Structure 1
Amino acid sequence: MPKPINPVIFREYDVRGVYNQTLFPDDAVRIGVAYAQLLKQKTPKNSYTINVGFDGRLSTPVLLDPLIAGLKSEGINVRLIGLGPTPMLYFSVFDGNEDGGIMITGSHNPKDHNGFKMMIGKTSLFGSEIQQLGKIAAGINLPVNSGSGKAETTDVLNGYVTRLAANYPASEKQLRIAWDAGNGAAGRVLPQLVKLLPGKHIVLNEIVDGNFPNHHPDPSVEENLKQLIDVVTREKLDAGFAFDGDADRIGVVDNMGRVFWGDQILLFLAENIIARNPGQPVIGDVKCSQILFDAVAKLGGKPVMWKTGHSLIKSKMAELSAPLAGEMSGHIFIKDQYYGYDDGIYAAIRFMQHLQNLPQDLAEWRDGLPEIYNTPEMRIECAEERKFKVIDEVRQRLQLAGSRFSDVDGVRVMTEEGWWILRASNTQPALALRAESNSPQGLEKLKSQIEQQLKQSGVPLKFASH
C-alpha cells in the first residue's frame, strides 16, 4: 500500500524533501495530479500544455516518469525540455507561452535532496498555494488512470543560450572570465554560451554529476568558491562566476579572488540598470547591507527592502514593476531587457556588460565601497513550532523598549552602531541572523544585543569572539 505523503515537503517556495526518506516516487505522481487540478481551478480552459525540466540530481530519473504520469492522468500535455537550469524552464514558459511549468531540482541542497519548483502561467507557486497543493496531493488515491495527456520532447537549449547572449554588446575590452558550473545544471549551458561571447573564457566542472565530486554547488558558501578563486588569481582573470545546482543563483569573485556577496552583486548591477531606469525601484531582501539601499538612492533609484525568498521577491517585483531585485543568497532578478525571473547565468552576462565599461578593474570598484564590519548570515537551530514564536517575543520586547526596527520579515533593528536582523528561516527549522556596523566595536555591541534577545527567549547563542 502506498505511503501517505509527508506534509513536511511542502515548503514556503517549493516542494522539497530527502529522496527515499521524505520524498518518494509515489509522491511525484500525487504532486503531478495535484498540480494539474490546481492549474484547472486557476485557469479554466479546454486543454493544457506545461513544460517540465530537470537538473542533474541522481534521484531525478525516478521522479520524472511518475510526475509525468500524474500530469497525463489529468489530461495535461507535457513538453519535456530536458536537463538544464531552472531559468531555462522559466525561459521556455515565458518564450513559448505554455500554461505553466515544473522543474525537478534539489537546487543548492545536499545531493540526496530533490524537489519541485512550479509555475502556473508565468507566476511561481509559493506560500498558501504550495500548502493548497499539499492538501490536494494528500487526498490522491493511487494508482491513477493513464489519462488523455500526451508527452513530447522539445529542445529549448539553443533558444535559451541565444537569448542569454543577446544582451552582451561588442566592445573593444575583451574580458577574461572563469565560469564554475559546480557539476550542476549550468554545465549544460556554459560550454555553448561562451562560444558566443568575445574574450577568454575558462569553464570549470561543466560535466553534470549529481555526486558533485569537486565541491557542493552553493556559491553563497565561500568554501565552495576556492577552486574558482584559484583559477581567477592564477590566470589573472577579470572575474569569476559560480552557480548553484540549478543555476538560479550566482556567486562572483573579483580579479583579486575576493568574494562578492549578493548585495554587492546587486549594487554593481544597479549602477548600470538605474542609469537605464532612473527613479525606478530596486528591491533588496532584508539581509542586504544598508550600503546597498543608501547607494541605490544616491544613484537615483528607489530602494525597497522586502522579505527574503525568491518567490516573494518576484511577486513584489511584479507589483512595483521594478527593473532589478536581488537577495543576499545570490538570487538576482532582472526585468530590464529580460523577463524578471532569477537567472544566475543571465545575471553574469549583465555583470560582464557593466564590467567591460568600467574605467577601473573589479577589485578597484570594490575598494571604493564604504568599509563595514559584519557577520556572515548565521543559522541556529530552532524547532519549527518555536521559531516564529521567538520572533514574536523579540518583536514585543523591542516595541516595549521603543527600539527602531522594521518587521517586514522577522525584525531588522536599527541602532547608532548599525543594524541587526533576526528572522525565522522559511526553509529550515532555524533562526537566521546577521549584523553590520561601521566599526569593530559597534559590531560587538550588536552581537551582544542579539545574544541578549535570544537568551530571553531561551535560545542559546554565543558568538565566537567578544
Structure 2
Amino acid sequence: MQNNIFREYDIRGIVGKEIDDSLALKIGRGFGTYLVRNNKKSIAISGDVRTSTDSLLKHLEQGLIMSGLNIINLGKLPTPLNYYSMHTDKIKVDGAIQITGSHNPANYNGFKITYNKKPFYGEDIQLLYNMIIAEDFDSSEGTKKSYNIIDDYFDMIHSKIKIDNKIKVVIDCGNAAGCIVAPKLYKSFNIDLHELYCNIDGSFPNHHPDPTVDSNIIDLRNYVLNEKCDIGIAFDGDADRIVAIDRKGRIIRPDILMAIFLPYIVSKGDSIVYDVKCSKSLEDTILKYDGKPLMWKTGHSLIKNKMQEENAKLGGEMSGHLFFADDYFGYDDAIYVGLRLIELLSSKNLDSSSLLDKIPKYYSTPELRFDCESDEHKKEVMNKIFKYFSSKFEYSDIDGIRLKLDDGWGLIRVSNTQPVIVFRAEAGTNEKLLEYKSMILDKLISFGVNINEEI
C-alpha cells in the first residue's frame, strides 16, 4: 500500500495499481474502527459511476460492517448528495464516505470522507493510514440497509430555489455522476433545458470529466453559441465542481463566478474565502462590496474548514469548488450552484454576458498542469523552484509560492491529488502576462519540468 495516495484531503489513485478492493476493505475497517472508538455508530456510503466503483463500494461496506457500524448504502450518487446525508433529518449518520475519482481520468478512483459534518483530511487521513498499516482494527458485527436520498435532495433544493422566468440552459454532465440527478432536477424547474453528454458512461468517452480544462468544454461552448443559450454549465466527474459559459461563448471561470454572485450575498465586513489560484478580479470585487478577502490554501477540505472558522457566507477555489453558506450547508455542490446561477439570471432578468462584463478584467493563464515522473519527483522540483524564486521576489507561501510581481502575480504549487506541478499567472496587460509567463516557464524548464511546446 502506497502512502502517497493518502493525500491532504482525500485518498485517491490509479485503480489496480494503487487503489483496489483490498484497500477499500481496509479503509472500511480503519475508518469504522475510528468511528466506533469515538462512540459513533452509523455511516452513509455511496459512489460515482466509474467502472471500478461497484466493487470498491462492496468491499468498503464489508470493512465497515466488520467494524460494527450501521451502514446506510445510498448507491450511486454525485458527491454532494453524499454530503447531504449528514444534513438531512430523514436519516441520522455520524460520517459519510463517497467513492469517486472526482475530475481525474477514468482509471482513477478514491475516497472522500466526512466526519461530524466536516471534512476528514490532513493529519486524520495520516492517522487512518497508520491504523491500516498496523492493522489496528476493532471487530464486531454491524448492519446494512439501503436508502434513496435523491427524493429528499430534490425536496430540499425546491425549498431553496425559485426560477421566475424561463431561460435557455445547456448542461454538460460529462457522462459522469451528475447525469444521475442534474437533468431530472433541472427539468423540474421552469428551465428550457438542453442536455450534453448526460447519459452515464464511466469510461468518459467524450472528454475527461474536468471542466476547468478548456479543451473539455469546447463542445459546450459551441452548443451555447449555436443554440443561442442564455448560459452553459459543466460539471466534473462527481458534480462538486462547476464552470460556466456565458451567452457569447466566454468561459466564466469559478473565481469569476464567485465575483458575479458576490453583490447578492456579501454584507459589509463579511469574510470571503478563496484559494491562492484565484484572480485579483475576485479580490477587487470583494473590496468593492466592503467584504473581507481571505486567501487560503487550495483544497476543498481546507476551504470548507476555513469558511467554518471565519463564519463565511461564500467560499471557493479556482478548481471549481464553490461553497454557499448563506442559505445552504457550506459544502461544494455544483448542481446547486448551477441552479443558484440560473435563479440569479432569471429572477433579476440579468444577462450572463453583461454580468461578466461588470467584473474587473485582468489577463491570466488558465491553470496549467505539468506532469512529473512521480510524487517524489514533483517534490524535488518544487524545492528547487521555491529556493530560486524566493530569493528573487517578494512572495506568499500560503500554498506553494505566489510571486508578487510589478503588475500581477505568478503561482507555482504542487497538486495534492496527482504528480503534477501547477502554474498560473495574471497581469494587468496581455503584454505583461506574456512576459511573466515566459520568465517563469523558462525557469521551470531549467528545473526539469516537462512543458507542452504549445503552451
TM (normalized to structure 2)? 0.93
Residue pair 1:165, 1:193 contacting (<8 A) in 2 also = no
In structure 1, C-alpha distance between the alignment counterparts of 2:326 and 2:443, rounded to whole Å: 41
2:69 maps to which residue?
Answer: 76
In structure 2, C-alpha distance between the alignment counterparts of 1:191 and 1:390, rounded to whole Å: 43
Stretches of structure 2 that go unaligned for 5 or more consecutive residues are none
Matched, 1:53 2:46: yes
2:128 maps to which residue?
Answer: 133
Q: 2:152 aligns with which of 159, 163, 173?
A: 159
Matched, 1:229 2:224: no
Q: Quote how far apart the aligned CAs of 1:360 are.
A: 4.4
Alpha carbons of structure 1 residues 236 and 301: separation in structure 2 relative to 1, 3 Å: same
Matched, 1:384 2:384: no
In structure 2, C-alpha distance between the alignment counterparts of 1:205 and 1:390, rounded to whole Å: 38
1:298 maps to which residue?
Answer: 288
**The 10-residue stretch of structure 1 (450-459 or 155-164) with the greater mean CA deviation from structure 2:** 450-459
Amino acid corresponding to residue 67 of structure 2 in structure 1: E
In structure 2, C-alpha distance between the alignment counterparts of 1:453 and 1:230, rounded to whole Å: 36
In structure 2, C-alpha distance between the alignment counterparts of 1:359 and 1:31, rounded to whole Å: 49
Alignment of 1:422-437 (within 5 A): 422-437=412-427
Q: Quote how far apart the aligned CAs of 1:74 are.
A: 0.8
In structure 1, C-alpha distance between the alignment counterparts of 2:382 and 2:186, rounded to whole Å: 46
Alpha carbons of structure 1 residues 359 and 208: separation in structure 2 relative to 1, 3 Å: closer
In structure 2, C-alpha distance between the alignment counterparts of 1:40 and 1:312, rounded to whole Å: 25
In structure 2, C-alpha distance between the alignment counterparts of 1:228 and 1:386, rounded to whole Å: 36
2:364 maps to which residue?
Answer: 374
Per-residue CA distance 1:280-305 (angstroms, 9 max, x = gap): 11111100111111111112211111
Matched, 1:26 2:22: yes
Per-residue CA distance 1:326-366 (angstroms, 9 max, x = gap): 11111111111000001101111111222224454111222
2:268 maps to which residue?
Answer: 278
1:40 maps to which residue?
Answer: 36
Residue pair 1:262, 1:330 contacting (<8 A) in 2 also = yes
SS across alignment from 1:93: coil
Alignment of 1:51-450 (within 5 A): 51-95=44-88, 96-140=91-135, 147-171=140-164, 173-274=165-266, 277-358=267-348, 360-382=350-372, 383-401=374-392, 403-450=393-440
Amino acid corresponding to residue 3 of structure 2 in structure 1: P
Residue pair 1:190, 1:203 contacting (<8 A) in 2 also = no
In structure 1, C-alpha distance between the alignment counterparts of 2:340 and 2:347, rounded to whole Å: 11
SS across alignment from 1:187: helix
Stretches of structure 1 that go unaligned for 5 or more consecutive residues are none
RMSD over aligned Cα atoms: 2.2
In structure 2, C-alpha distance between the alignment counterparts of 1:191 and 1:398, rounded to whole Å: 47
Alpha carbons of structure 1 residues 70 and 418: separation in structure 2 relative to 1, 3 Å: same
Residue pair 2:281, 2:361 contacting (<8 A) in 1 also = no
Per-residue CA distance 1:106-151 (angstroms, 9 max, x = gap): 1111112111111111111111211211121123399x97x41000
**The 10-residue stretch of structure 1 (385-394 or 7-16) with the greater mean CA deviation from structure 2:** 385-394
SS across alignment from 1:26: helix
SS across alignment from 1:356: helix
Alpha carbons of structure 1 residues 68 and 278: separation in structure 2 relative to 1, 3 Å: same
SS across alignment from 1:182: coil
In structure 2, C-alpha distance between the alignment counterparts of 1:282 and 1:267, rounded to whole Å: 10
In structure 2, C-alpha distance between the alignment counterparts of 1:394 and 1:464, rounded to whole Å: 22
Q: Quote how far apart the aligned CAs of 1:309 are.
A: 0.7
Q: Quote how far apart the aligned CAs of 1:458 are.
A: 5.4
Matched, 1:7 2:6: no
Q: Quote how far apart the aligned CAs of 1:8 are.
A: 3.0
Residue pair 2:163, 2:343 contacting (<8 A) in 1 also = no
